Structure 1
């Protein structure tokens, strides 16, 4: 029976001995099935335990067709095994899973939001609430209520019942199982079916801290941590803050203002840089026009973006009504070009684009006054410019 499994009988038990039922292999992974075990298999949003059997590392534990498979690094080839789980991992999972029950019930009590899914990750835990409109005040209220329940150190009880014995009126949500039903109960607060491992009291959860939220398919995903993970998150964030205030040369309480000032200064610098770049583009356009032989300006570049080519061509065309501007640049395997005309030129730049694209087999577009395009070709920028110029003769 499920309730006879060692991890249900005593979730604090870390070591055991058991007879081997059989050994096997699944996808190249050796596994062993035992008469009983303290190793919790992955299920219900809670990851499996890890540890050792006869000194051999257990890498994964899964329940397959009613049997618990302990996947091991090498075959045991034994009739009896001694096992021990990683207690730090087990207790962390107990804290996080119980914390999830508490936070979920707190959201039901304070906001009426049900939890539709739960994930216990290596660093962060998350639940999905059945609402996409969870506001900050609701998050704060649920977190405060959850921590009140923890501080009250209420018992966390487990009870095995049948379908007939189940009081469905108390359930937080309908169960997806029948037969042997395991209830996890926090008196006068939460009554729910669950197959995970939990501590004896809410106080052992330590504390709960919500880290943030995100929208997920019309639901709200709430990220949080419990117990020792709260301390680890605090240490991690404190280290980041310490480094940040060191770079800012400002005390912690003034860090936000210092960052805001830096962002404002950066925006100003970006604006000034953009204005200077526009001025340089205009100056460069004048230089191209001054160095041109006749009314056709040609220039080839390396590693210059199509956006810069466009600006340069437009600036040159604006400065000389009688000029045709042909520019090309190679960016890796790709060659890109632009063609522009001054307002006094009757030629269509589409001719230049069509000729270039027929040679390089790329794509482009535009109108009579301005075109652009590009493609992968072995032709040089100078060769493509020659083809474009010839098409306009």
Structure 2
């Protein structure tokens, strides 16, 4: 490649180039290699650019075997080798803001506390850096965020230089270069000197702002989650919209929303507890009513939760030591069964249950006194219960 335009000028949005290679990979993906390109390939923690070559969308850009490959949605049908190309500027500038913001925040942590950044990831919605420290305080995080935004506000120049390894090592590098020949150094004078292959704006002011969203321990390090630039504005707008809706829903000002939500949650817990108590009373009444008709209880239900069948069976055996019970529910395309017996009952509930399950391709298990399971609705609930009634134990 003659020129990597994204290094000469990261603000280039459109360009013309000559096709040097137009091939297809073994898995059927078409790609183009150009004599010069403004498309940044994935690397150094920064995602690739997107855009168009003529009328075909560039879905991916990768550096493979020393060449930059532009992968396309479809084969490019052209008679001429010279093409017009354009990059998605919104995506590119976002990456420039985020990458420069990472340099600034990492520099702030190094300057204030000596915390080294050991990894970096630029995601679609947030960025992360891993700091080589086991623990971090909220005061340290706030101080680093404030220092980073001061660096942005002062609008320092961001410069780049291509240097030999020896020349690069004469600078106070924040990290050691990963290459042994030509080193691309990104410089924020008197603040940060960092070997980096990514794209960055001309000044720190273009980063606009940095906001740390949270952090967690990660394999002996601290992983910091943050956003920069236009993402701060976008997420602020999203959060403001959510907060506005919440204030309307809970009928409270923004400062009182948390208290109002806590009250609602506590009220919900109390209502759920009262509902459970009421359901328990109703199930108790239902179980006692069944016992009035004898100790052998066989019932069929449609779309009744298994949890209720379990509660009913347990209530019945707690009320009578002689009871034996089979409760069957047909729920959609499934048959669910609960069986139980009191301590003095001679009915072999588990044996009946075990021998009946194959009729519905069922699975289940339990003890001598309580079983549960289910299977396919090969038989209707009524047919299955009838077979239980006729079972000769």
**Correspondent of 2:223 among 221, 224, 234:** 221
Shift of 1:193: 1.4
**Does the Cα contact within 8 Å between 2:157 and 2:203 map onto a contact in 1?**
yes
**Correspondent of 1:160 among 159, 162, 177:** 162
Hey, what does 1:324 align to over in structure 2? Answer: 324
Hey, what does 2:6 align to over in structure 1? Answer: 7
Q: Quote the Cα distance in structure 2 between the aligned partners of 1:131 and 1:382.
A: 66
Q: Quote the Cα distance in structure 2 between the aligned partners of 1:362 and 1:219.
A: 49
Hey, what does 2:20 align to over in structure 1? Answer: 21
Shift of 1:296: 0.3
**Does the Cα contact within 8 Å between 2:17 and 2:36 map onto a contact in 1?**
yes
Q: Quote the Cα distance in structure 2 between the aligned partners of 1:385 and 1:197.
A: 72
Q: Quote the Cα distance in structure 1 between the aligned partners of 2:280 and 2:354.
A: 29
Shift of 1:262: 0.8
Shift of 1:374: 2.2
Q: Quote the Cα distance in structure 1 between the aligned partners of 2:133 and 2:7.
A: 34
Hey, what does 2:298 align to over in structure 1? Answer: 298
**Which range moves more in the overlay, 323-332 or 19-28?**
19-28
Question: For structure 2, which runs of at least 5 residues remain unmatched after alignment?
Answer: none
Q: Quote the Cα distance in structure 2 between the aligned partners of 1:127 and 1:390.
A: 69
Pairs within 5 Å for 1:46-85: 46-54=46-54, 56-73=56-73, 74-75=75-76, 76-85=78-87
Asked if 1:240 is matched to 2:242, the reply is yes
Hey, what does 2:340 align to over in structure 1? Answer: 340
Asked if 1:87 is matched to 2:89, the reply is yes
Shift of 1:265: 0.8
Question: For structure 1, which runs of at least 5 residues remain unmatched after alignment?
Answer: none
**Does the Cα contact within 8 Å between 2:98 and 2:228 map onto a contact in 1?**
yes
- Other structure's SS at 1:385 match: helix
Shift of 1:297: 0.4
Q: Quote the Cα distance in structure 2 between the aligned partners of 1:367 and 1:19.
A: 78
Q: Quote the Cα distance in structure 2 between the aligned partners of 1:279 and 1:81.
A: 78
- Other structure's SS at 1:232 match: helix
Q: Quote the Cα distance in structure 2 between the aligned partners of 1:72 and 1:377.
A: 51
- Other structure's SS at 1:170 match: coil
**Correspondent of 1:102 among 76, 101, 104:** 104
**Which range moves more in the overlay, 333-342 or 271-280?**
333-342
**RMSD between aligned residues:** 2.6
- Other structure's SS at 1:117 match: strand
Q: Quote the Cα distance in structure 1 between the aligned partners of 2:173 and 2:390.
A: 82
Hey, what does 1:284 align to over in structure 2? Answer: 286
Shift of 1:131: 4.9
Shift of 1:366: 2.3
Pairs within 5 Å for 1:239-388: 239-290=241-292, 292=293, 294-388=294-388
Q: Quote the Cα distance in structure 1 between the aligned partners of 2:155 and 2:24.
A: 45
- Other structure's SS at 1:165 match: helix
Shift of 1:387: 4.2
Q: Quote the Cα distance in structure 2 between the aligned partners of 1:194 and 1:137.
A: 29
Q: Quote the Cα distance in structure 2 between the aligned partners of 1:84 and 1:372.
A: 65
Asked if 1:193 is matched to 2:192, the reply is no
Question: Judging changes above 3 Å, is the alpha-carbon distance between structure 1 residues 108 and 305 closer, same or farther for their aligned structure 2 residues?
Answer: farther
Shift of 1:285: 1.1
Please report the TM-score for the alignment, with normalisation by the length of structure 2: 0.89
- Other structure's SS at 1:264 match: helix
Shift of 1:191: 2.2
